[in-house]
Structure formats: C-alpha cells, structure tokens
A and B are shown apart, each in its own frame.
Chain A
Amino acid sequence: DGGITQSPKYLFRKEGQNVTLSCEQNLNHDAMYWYRQDPGQGLRLIYYSQIVNDFQKGDIAEGYSVSREKKESFPLTVTSAQKNPTAFYLCASSIGSGSRYTEAFFGQGTRLTVV
C-alpha cells in the first residue's frame, strides 16, 4: 500500500539530547513537509523540501534541522536548541506545486515528550 510512514509513534527523550524523527513515503512525491502541532492548536510548518538535496525553512525552523538525501525520506532532527520540543510532529508529502488537484498526504504523527 502506498502511504507515508512516521516512526516511532511515541518518543521520549531527556532534555538536552538531540532526537531524529523518521518520515518515509512510497508515493513518489517530490515535496515533503514537517509540521509541529501543540495541544488545541493548528499545524505550524517547520521545514519543507520540494526536491532531493534541497529544503527551505518554514515558519518555526529554529531549533530543528532536516535532510533530504533520498526522495523517499525526510528526517527531522529536534536539537537541544529547541526551547520547547514537546509536541506532536506531523510529516506530509505532495506531488509538488503547479496543480490544483494535489493534496497533502499526512503520516500518523510522532508524539515527542522531552523530560
């Protein structure tokens, strides 16, 4: 089945540690995205990538880093510089820009708790 997979579903880390969240898609989509969601709020864009080896900052990129070495994969690293990393993280993918028919496909999310 085609889809977008995030792992793990729940993640716990100690304060001051970097942690990497996985996102893999087999939809052959060019574009991938990372969002952060806090309780009761909407989604905020962290980083996005339109093509392999290229990515851009979203609205809240500080304290996060990404890589896009393969079309299928877009891992997100939450660094120790992120002041409040505990949140629900969502990865998404889409065909790309230029088509009104494209929608974003989302993974099931990773809930990160930093203690």
Chain B
Amino acid sequence: DAKTTQPPSMDCAEGRAANLPCNHSTISGNEYVYWYRQIHSQGPQYIIHGLKNNETNEMASLIITEDRKSSTLILPHATLRDTAVYYCIVRAVNTNAGKSTFGDGTTLTVKP
C-alpha cells in the first residue's frame, strides 16, 4: 500500500468546515483512498472512500486531485463531536480492508 502523509494536528471552529489534507504521491492506479476516524479510546470508524471522483455521503466529502496524488476530507459543519484522530489510507482493491496501514493520522480539535 502507498504511504500517506498527514499533518499531525489541526484546529477548527465549531460550525465551520474542517478540511483535512492527505498526501499520497506514490498512489497506484488500483489503490483507493479511504478515511477513518478514531474518537478517543474508541475503535476507528469508516468515513468515506474514493478512487478518482469526488465522493459525498452523510458524514463528509472527499475531494481527490486529478493526478490523485493528494486528497482532502471535508467535514462541512464541524461539531465538537468531530474531535478525533483522522486517518487517511490508500488500499489496493484486492487487499483485505483490515490490512491497511494506519499511520499517526491528524488530530482534529473542534473548538467552541
């Protein structure tokens, strides 16, 4: 799996959009971008994934650059409950979901 680079920490004001970047410059053509988050002392939770098109679900939006070397997870209206560690992962389609490499992620702190 390709390596990802994320900033160690970010702050966001409550109600504002949180934009979390991820660099994956060595991503391969068959690798998807996945995002998970981990609230303190809980197990990680899947958020969203994509290949090359932008994706949106009830939790977030995922914007992937045209060259696929980076992506941004957008939480449109951050709340205090969005404070968590966010992990960006790239994974090939033919590998087990649980064998993904979870690095140190980005600690997002949403402030009132």
A interface list, Cβ under 8 A from B: 4, 31-33, 35, 40-43, 45, 48, 50, 58, 88, 90, 92-100, 102-109, 111
CB within 8 Å for A31 and B97 given contacts A43-B44, A100-B32, A106-B45: yes
Smallest CB separation, A35 vs chain B (Å): 8
Closest to A95 in B: B97
Contact of A93 among B44, B45, B98, B105 (CB under 8 A): B98
Smallest CB separation, B108 vs chain A (Å): 15
With A42-B101, A104-B100 already in contact, 19 other A-B pairs whose C-beta atoms are closer than 8 Å: A4-B43, A31-B98, A41-B104, A50-B96, A92-B98, A94-B98, A95-B97, A96-B96, A97-B95, A98-B93, A99-B93, A103-B34, A103-B36, A103-B49, A103-B97, A105-B46, A106-B44, A108-B42, A109-B41
66-112 of chain B: CB within 8 A of chain A:
87, 93-105
> A70–B105 Cα gap in the complex (Å)?
33
Return chain A residues, CB-CB under 8 Å to B105.
Answer: 42
Smallest CB separation, A54 vs chain B (Å): 13
> A96–B99 Cα gap in the complex (Å)?
10
CB within 8 Å for A43 and B42 given contacts A31-B96, A100-B32: no
Inter-chain residue pair count (beta carbon < 8 A): 70
Return chain B residues, CB-CB under 8 Å to A90.
Answer: 43-44
Whether B43 pairs with A42 at a CB distance below 8 angstroms is: no
Whether A104 pairs with B87 at a CB distance below 8 angstroms is: no
Closest to B31 in A: A100
A58, A96, A102, A104: most-surrounded residue (chain B CB, <10 A): A104
